[in-house]
Every structure is written in C-alpha cells, then in structure tokens.
Amino acid sequence: MEHSWLRISGVLCVFGFLRELRPSEPYHSEILLGEWYNVTQDQVNRSVYPIGTYSYLALLIVVFLVTDFLRYKPMIIANALTGIIIWTVLLTTSTLFGLQISEVFYGFYQATEVAYYSYIYAKVDKKYYPRVTSHTRAAMFVGKLVAGLLAQLLIGFDWMNYQQLMYISVGSQVFALLWTVLLPKVEQSLYFHQQVAVSGPVDKEADAPEQLKDISNEHFNELSVAQKDRAQPLQLLWAHFHIAYTNVMVLQWSLWYAVSLAGSLQVATYMQVLWKSYENEPKIVWNGGVDAALTALAALFSLMAGYLHAGRLKTRASLLSVAVLAILEGGCILLASWTSNIYLSYLGYVLFGGIFGFIITVTSAELAKSLVEDSFALIFGINTLIALQIIERSIRSVMNQGECRQPHLPLDNPDIMKFYKPVDKINCGTSPDWVMCEKSICFVKPEITAVHGDITCSYTDIIRKSDYTARFGRTNRIKEPYVLQNSDFVRVACHASSGEKWFGMAFGIRDTVQRPVVPNVAVLPAEIVIANSQQQPQLQEVPTSPFYNVLMFGFDSLSRNAFIRKLPRTYAYLTQQLGAIVLQGYNIVGDGTPQALVPLLTGYTELELPETRKRISSAGSVDAYPMIWQDFRRLGYMTSFNEDLPYVGTFTYRMNGFDSQPVDHYLRTYYMQASNMLSGSAPNCIGAQPDHLVMLDYTKNFMLKYRDSPRFVFSFHGGLSHDSINLIGAADDDVHDWLVTLKEKSLLDDTILIFMADHGNRFAEVRATLQGKQEERLPFFSFTFPESFKKRFPQEYNNFLANEHRLVTPFDVHATLKHLIQMQSVGLNDQTPDTSYDVFSNDIHTETSQTIHISEQARGRSISLFERIPSNRSCADAYIEPHWCACLNWQPLELNDSRYEGIILKAANSIVETINAATLERRQFCAPLQLLKVNWALRLLPHKELLQFKTNSDKDGFLADMTGHTTVHEVFYQLQLVTQPGQALYEASVAYNLHTFECTAKLSDISRVNKYGSQARCIYERDPELRKFCYCRD
C-alpha cells in the first residue's frame, strides 16, 4: 500500500506539473494588450477578464457533480483538452469575441481543477492526506516555477516574444493530455457510483470509519440512511453538506481556506497593475522571474507544511501556526503595496506567495481530515465558490444604484455668476464678401456690383479627397452666376472694372447629389387620413412628407444653465414660441465630445466599436461606425453632417476620420480649406463672415434645397464655446434670428428640431467650482415637435413629455432616433398599427459592417424617449459611471479632517501615479508630475433611504420596509488637485476599498480642468491622447 499511494501520487503530480508549465501566464496582460489583438485595456478589464470569473462561478458546482458522475479521470482529461483549446484560440484569434470565447473555456479550465485535487483523495488512505496534499500542491508550484524561469529567460534574452510563449503553453497541455493515460481509474465515486450499501443496522462504534466516530448520532443516522438509498444522490449530497457545515472544525478550516484563496487571487490580479505605477519600474519586465521565485518558495513551503504537519502538528498547533503566518502574510502585502521601491515590492510579493503555499496546504489537509465519507470534493468546491464571491466586486456599486435625484443648481449662484461677462458681437471687419450662394447658385452680391461696377470672377471647385486633403477643379472665369455641380464649396477670385480685387470662398448646396431610392411611402396611414378628413381646418397640420425631418444643431461645452444664461433670446424663443421640451435629467456618460457624440450617433461607446484611433497601427477608419444617418439614408433621407474646428474634429483629432464622405453634404472640407486660404481672417471669422453664421446658413440652405425630400442634418459648432464660457453670448441674436427664419419659411412644420450640447464647460474657471463640476455633467438638450407629430403619435408624445425630468443619456437619444424610424416605417408600410418600441428594441444593434459585442449590463442601457423611462432609474441602470453621474450625493470634506486626511492624500497620490504611468513610455518628452496640493475633496455617499430599504411591506409596493442595513464595501472620492511642474489642475474619481484600504484611479476618470496650452507641445503629434497629462521637458 505504501508504494501504491506513492505511485499514484507521482503520476498525478507529473500531470499537475505539465498542466502548470505555461510560460505565457506571467505575461498574460502584456499578451492581451499587445499588437496581436484589436482590443483596449478597458475592453480587457471590462469585457474579457470578467467572463472567465463568471464562467468559473457558473461551472464550479456543475463540474463537481459531473466529476463525481464520470469518476474523476475523464474530467482530468477534459481539463488538459480544454487547456489545448484555450491557447490554440489565443494563437488564432485577434478579436474581442475570440478572447471572450477563450475566457469561457478558461473558466471551465479553472473549475475542473477540482478533479485534480479530489482524485487523489479517492485513491489513497486518509492517513496519507497531508502528504499527498503537499505533493499535489508542490507539483503545481514547481510547474509554475519552471514556467516562470523559462518565460523570463526567453523574454529577457529576446529569444521569443510574448505571443510565442503560448506555443509552449499549448505543447505542455498536449503532453499533460497524453500523460493522463497512466492515471488509474476510480472504480466508484461518492454520489453517482457508490459502493453497494450493506443492509441492516450499522453500529457506529464498531463499524464506522475513524472519521465518523466524532459526529453526533443524529448525523450518523442521517448519513447511513442517505448511503443506503443509492437512487438518491442528492440526498447524500445534502447529508454531506449538512454534516460538514454543522461541524465547527469544518467551518473553521473552510473559512481559512476561502479567505486565503480569495486574498491570493486578488493580490495576483492587481500586483502587476501596481508595479506599472512605479516610477523606477525596470526596463526589463521581471514578471517571469518574480513568478518563478514565488512558486519556488511556495513549493518549498508546501512540502514543508505537508511533512511537518503529518503527525507532528495537532489541530490546535496547526491553527496557531496558520494565524501567525497570516499576520506575516499581511505584513508582506503591506511591504509590497506601500514601498516606493519596486524591488522591495517584488520581495514582499514573493514572501507572500511562499507563506500562502504553507497556509493553503495546511488548511486543505486539516479540512480533508475533518470531513466525513470523502466529501472533500463537494466542500472544496463550495469553499472555492465562496472565495470567488469574496473577491468578485460587483460592477453595480451600491452607491450608484439609488434613484436619481437631480441636484438643485440655481442660475444666479454667486460662485458661478462672477465668471460671466457680457461680450460684443463678433467683428470680422468692414470689407464685405463679394460673392454668396443660395442653394446651388453663386453670384456677386447686387450691392457690390452697385459700388464696383462690372465684375468678372474665377470660380474653382474645392473637391474633397479625404478628411484631411482636397483638390481643386477646373477654374471657370465668368461674369454670370456660377452653378455648383462638383462641390458645395468654391474658391473665388474677382476683378472689378474699377480695378478692385477680392479673393475668398463661397458655399452652397450643389445640384448633382444622387438622391436615395425612396421606399413605397406614397400614401399616409389610413387612420391619419380618416382623422383629418373629419377635421378639415387642421389639414395644414398633416406633414407634407410621410417622414419627419430631423434637424440637430449643437454647441460644444454648454451646460443647461449656461445656455439659459448666455443665450437668453434663443432659449426664450425655443421654449415659449416653439414649445421645446428641455430634458432636465440629460446626463453625460464620458469625458469630452467623442464620448458624448459617439453614443448618440451609434448607440455604442468608442471602446465597443472597431478601433479607429490614429496611434493604433491596425486601426481602421470611422467608416466602420454604424452612424444613425446611415439608417435615415436607407429610408430615403438626404443627409448632412457639419462640424467646425477641423483640427480638433470629433472623428479626426484622435481618430482616423472617414475614408468616404459620410453624408451627402459635408462642411468639413470648407473649414479645412478656409483655415489655409483665409488664415488672415479675424478671430472666429471666415473672411468677412462669423464662422457660426457659415454653419447656420449652410444648414438652412440644406433644409431649403430639399424641401421635397426628408432630411437629416446634424451641425455641431465649437469655435465660440469650446474655450470660453462667455463668447457664445455673441451668437444669441444670430441663433434667435435663424430659428425665426426657419419658422417663417415653414422649414419646421415637418421637422423635429433637436437643439443640444455635448457637455458643460470643462476648462473655464467656473469648472473649478462645485456647481460648475455638476453643470458639466448636465448639458443643454431639447426636442421640438411639430403639431402634426403630436396628433399622429399622441401616446409617444405623451411619453416623451413624461420623461422631461427623468434620467436620460446619449444612448437614449440614439434609441429615440431609431424608434422614430421604426414608428414611421411601420405605419407607412401599413404592416401593423402597433408602433411599440419593444418590437424594435431587439434590433437596435444591427446592420453594422462588423459584429459588435457588448456586455450584458450594457444591453439594457438605452430606452427610447417615446417610451416611459422608470422614475427610479439609477445611474447604474443608465450605464453612467459614478464619476459622471450628477445624481450622486457628494459630501464635501474638510481637508484637515483627521478622519479623511490620510485617505485624501492616498487618493491624490493614486491619481498622480496613474497619470505618470500613462506618460511613462514618453518619459523622454514628458516630465513626471508631483502632487502640489489638493483644492477640495468630496465623498460619495449613498442615499440614506437606499441603505435602509429592505423590501416592500405591502402587496402593491406602495409602502416600504425601511428596517434594512445595507453594508457598503467601497467608497468613491472625488478630488481636485494641482500638480507640478506646470500647475495643472485635475479632477478625478477614486475608488477606495474598505477591505483592502487601496485606492484605484482610472485614467479615463481624470479630467484636466485648466488649459494645457503649450505645455504639451512636444506630444501633440506624437501622442495627442496624452496632451492633458504631459508637461514637456523642453
């Protein structure tokens, strides 16, 4: 028997060694974030890693039962086979979906470890448990040791890259699979293949095994009954569970096992992230060497625990030794996380791993020794499940789930109003432009001819080649009006008979754009015709086209309150004359214009869409985005998208822009050439015309040109408001007059007018105040509906009215536009009178050029405003991170409050460290930042009612039971701090874990409040995404 258990243990240990011989594991993050996969770090953290954890959780108990049913060995074989699949998939895929598939298999791979650990207990006598436990643990540690050393050598000497390490990982799994042939079969299992029970009474003292003599007579009888009924494996499962977890010794060692495992997994997950924050991080990544050292020490300690524990340490002594070592383990983690020297952090981590090897071996052996009837697989599985739940931090923070209560933000707050000043109108000089265009006809203005006499002009078309370049067409020298055919934009040089000359540009709407094929929509729905035949006086309220036009006009950096303050005439006309509905709960979902417009136009976040960033070598163009105007175009709409500030365009500054012109009429080409040809213009002018009037006129011309067709236009202007909170006031009269003109020309009769902003002001001084911070998250957003829409879709319109004060995001606006298309399409095709958004919502994410995968949590984030949004909708429901949620209850903190002083300092340092980690690769250009001071700090508190709510106390749900006590595990802080050099002003949210006392800041949650100006000049072209964080050394 002595040799039998050694032989079985040896064969199993070889399998464990081969299984762990995966040199790619120490560099798993570097592999996933390398050039081989088209994913971002945020996608890896949010959409890849969690799948493995959730798969592990979902499969653990199932795998345990299957393991018992198949009698262990088949599941060990399946484990090796799954390893082959995982690393083969990683070697052959480059997509997010492929990585997610590999994580599903990885969850199964981890779950089937239970077969490896429990197999040996089913094959050897219980007196050998401490030794075989140490053998199996040590074998896996040795495998990790060899893998770490091998990886470090191959990477350190540049013999392989990170991806090539996975070929060795695949090979080791193949050898492990082949080795499983040598494992002897297990003839019986605990639940599904039990040994035939002997009938008749069983005497506990005489017949029971040693481990059963300590349990109560009641439990012994319960177990005996369960064993006799072979047809009821679930009854035996319950007996084992009940007996185990009513045993104080099992509970005690289960707690040690679960907490130890949870701590180890959590430390291993975050340690590499911590190392990246060190300023003295070595150029050679020592992950492999550190892992090798850790596993060597862990293997040694595991063997030591097995042989020291076997017959030498009693249970009390074991408990005392584990308690002392746990204290030392905590000290090692403090050393690893608090030291400013990365090599001391390495040392602390290695020591932690060694001690963990001793503790987990002792706890496993003591636990197995305390269990009855070989129920170790069940109990180990449950304990591992508990460990996973301990480390699994819910994406939905308790603090982020409260009903949204919008903050009260007075318009006349003195802290805000002191920054507001009146401004004069934009002055573009006294020399007028000579040429203008109406629709497609360009001509010399009559007043110019009256002054200068006969005028001859040369017209040269400006034709788009790409988002960054254009070419010039053939020049036509004529006295007559010029008809735009090849472009909307033309360069003009004029000579008067008086000898005067003029040079400039003109814009219009050319004639030659091919119109889309319009669906068969010649007749209105029958119910509309009948209703209006009975109300003849209201026939003028029926739309002249079956489809409603959509006119969106937006300004950059304009909160709801700022819009009212700086554009009072425009606001009054919108709300009082046009009846606009201003969304009081519209909340941003990210930092900056792309994070506002991309969800609005596509329904996705930038991270969910195909890669388009310039700095990523494999990135494509923005053509891959499923823009909403494509949906309108397919329905027969003419389309236009217009944006000024061409050098910081939403889709062209960080992104690659569009290869093909995205819409029928596209103003970007005009602004690009104007910045070159008319660079001498006054600020905020193009020649003699303010540039905001260029966009207003171009948009109006587009609406006039296609009166006989449905139109979708989105114009977005940033020149006046991007860097100033006051300058936008210069456009109030012009915007007001533009709206009046649209109304007088009946251009709004069949048009849904959306007037909006992307976010509040981010850079001006007002942004540094508390209310300014809140206003940034609440931009202006309004809808105006024609009377005919209200009569045609009364239920949808009433729902929209009900949502005026509800929490709304760009995702919801996108869903609303999609719903609008569905409402009109269904009605006009007379397919069904039902225009329920429920039918449509399943098709929100379709008809894209690539398959786009989103998380389960993201699938319910968008709600059409034509459906009623729940009044208790939370920021978590709406997919708004706590950093951007204006609903949250922030408590201002005193910086010298001893209760929070240390946490504030730790949080501030984590922000600075995150910034420095981001600029580390550009350290030759960007100086490391240091914390100068903290201006203010806020603590995010959940609503008191949220913490006290327990359940409904009546059947209807009207009354609440407020006797609950919700425990909070994580607190968010928000800080504003100043760094040096450069006096940069940053704001950021930081997560503070109440268990680990660690602060975590994400780069995407850090906002630069003041202008960076020339401080980042060295990085503009090299890496524009770092411009907020880089202070140039030169």
**Helix, strand or coil for residue 880?**
coil
Residue 379 lies in a domain: yes
- C-alpha distances in Å from residue 51, one per residue of 93, 98, 856: 17, 12, 11
Mean predicted confidence (pLDDT) in 982-1002? 87
Residue 380 lies in a domain: yes
Q: How many CB atoms lie within 10 A of CB 806?
A: 22
**536 compared with 96, residue with greater pLDDT:** 96
Banded pLDDT at 821 (limits 50, 70, 90)? very high
Asked if the model's pLDDT at residue 789 lies above 90, the reply is yes
Tens of pLDDT, residue by residue over 355-386, are 887 877 777 777 666 665 455 555 555 655 55
Q: What is the pLDDT of residue 943?
A: 40
Tens of pLDDT, residue by residue over 870-887, are 887 888 888 887 768 787
Please report where in the chains the tokens 């003295």 appear, as a residue. 280
Q: What is the pLDDT of residue 191?
A: 53
Lowest mean pLDDT, pick from 168-182, 311-325, 449-463, 602-616: 311-325
Q: Do both 864 and 910 map to the same domain? A: no
Q: What is the pLDDT of residue 968?
A: 58
How far, in Å, CA of 628 to CA of 640, rounded? 12
Q: What is the pLDDT of residue 406?
A: 74
Q: Do both 660 and 804 map to the same domain? A: yes
Tens of pLDDT, residue by residue over 263-288, are 676 676 556 656 654 544 555 567 67
Residue 307 lies in a domain: yes
Q: What is the pLDDT of residue 779?
A: 95
Find the domain containing 931 and state its range: 889-1026
- Here the CATH number for the domain that contains residue 1003 is 3.10.450.10
Mean predicted confidence (pLDDT) in 638-664? 94
Closest C-alpha among 215, 247, 241, 253 to residue 367: 253
Banded pLDDT at 314 (limits 50, 70, 90)? low
Mean predicted confidence (pLDDT) in 820-843? 53
Mean predicted confidence (pLDDT) in 800-820? 95
Q: Do both 16 and 122 map to the same domain? A: yes
Q: What is the pLDDT of residue 425?
A: 93
How far, in Å, CA of 1031 to CA of 317, rounded? 58
Mean predicted confidence (pLDDT) in 961-967? 47
Mean pLDDT of the residues in the chain = 79
Asked if the model's pLDDT at residue 213 lies above 80, the reply is no
Banded pLDDT at 35 (limits 50, 70, 90)? low
Tally of structural domains, the chain: 3
- Here the CATH number for the domain that contains residue 639 is 3.40.720
Q: Do both 276 and 150 map to the same domain? A: yes
Please report where in the chains the tokens 């002594």 appear, as a residue. 317
How far, in Å, CA of 558 to CA of 561, rounded? 8
How far, in Å, CA of 870 to CA of 345, rounded? 49
Q: Do both 791 and 925 map to the same domain? A: no
Give phi and psi for 602, each to the nearest 5.
Answer: -120, -25
Q: What is the CA radius of gyration of the chain?
A: 35
- Here the CATH number for the domain that contains residue 336 is 1.20.1250.20
Lowest mean pLDDT, pick from 99-108, 278-287, 1005-1014: 278-287
Q: Do both 150 and 21 map to the same domain? A: yes
Tens of pLDDT, residue by residue over 324-337, are 888 888 888 888 87
Q: Do both 846 and 932 map to the same domain? A: no
How far, in Å, CA of 1009 to CA of 770, rounded? 12
Contact 515, 677 (CB under 8 A): no
How far, in Å, CA of 738 to CA of 753, rounded? 13
Lowest mean pLDDT, pick from 100-109, 125-134, 341-350: 125-134
**911 compared with 952, residue with greater pLDDT:** 911
Q: What is the pLDDT of residue 39?
A: 65
Banded pLDDT at 993 (limits 50, 70, 90)? confident
Please, which residues bridge with residue 553 across strands? 715, 755
Banded pLDDT at 198 (limits 50, 70, 90)? very low
Asked if the model's pLDDT at residue 25 lies above 70, the reply is yes
Tell me the percentage of the chain whose pLDDT exceeds 90.
36
- C-alpha distances in Å from residue 64, one per residue of 9, 761, 822: 21, 56, 48
Residue 456 lies in a domain: no
Banded pLDDT at 519 (limits 50, 70, 90)? low
DSSP code string of 252-316: HHHHHHHHHHHHHHHHHHHHHHHHTT-TT--SS--HHHHHHHHHHHHHHHHHHHHHHHTTTS-HH
Residue 445 lies in a domain: no
Question: Helices marked H in 480-566 — which ranges?
Answer: 526-533, 560-566
Q: Do both 815 and 908 map to the same domain? A: no
Question: Which of 357, 372, 392 delimits the end of a domain?
Answer: 392
Most confident range (mean pLDDT) of 205-219, 387-401, 729-743, 851-865 is 729-743
Residue 983 lies in a domain: yes
Q: Do both 965 and 841 map to the same domain? A: no
Q: Do both 42 and 182 map to the same domain? A: yes
Mean predicted confidence (pLDDT) in 978-987? 90
Mean predicted confidence (pLDDT) in 641-650? 93
Mean predicted confidence (pLDDT) in 595-612? 91
Asked if the model's pLDDT at residue 388 lies above 70, the reply is no
Residue 405 lies in a domain: no
Q: What is the pLDDT of residue 390?
A: 47
Tens of pLDDT, residue by residue over 134-160, are 677 778 778 888 888 888 888 878 788
Asked if the model's pLDDT at residue 89 lies above 80, the reply is yes
Q: What is the pLDDT of residue 867?
A: 95
Pairing of strands 889-893, 781-784: unpaired
Asked if the model's pLDDT at residue 836 lies above 60, the reply is no
Q: Do both 958 and 872 map to the same domain? A: no
Q: What is the pLDDT of residue 951?
A: 38
Q: Do both 855 and 982 map to the same domain? A: no
Q: What is the pLDDT of residue 866?
A: 96
Asked if the model's pLDDT at residue 505 lies above 90, the reply is yes
Asked if the model's pLDDT at residue 734 lies above 70, the reply is yes
Residue 804 lies in a domain: yes
Question: Which of 880, 901, 922 delimits the end of a domain?
Answer: 880
Banded pLDDT at 540 (limits 50, 70, 90)? very low
pTM score, whole prediction: 0.55
Q: What is the pLDDT of residue 925?
A: 92
Question: Which of 392, 422, 440 delimits the end of a domain?
Answer: 392
Collect all residues with Cβ–Cβ distance below 8 Å to 909 and sequence separation of at least 6: 931, 999
**Helix, strand or coil for residue 1027?**
coil
Tell me the percentage of the chain whose pLDDT exceeds 70.
72
Banded pLDDT at 938 (limits 50, 70, 90)? confident
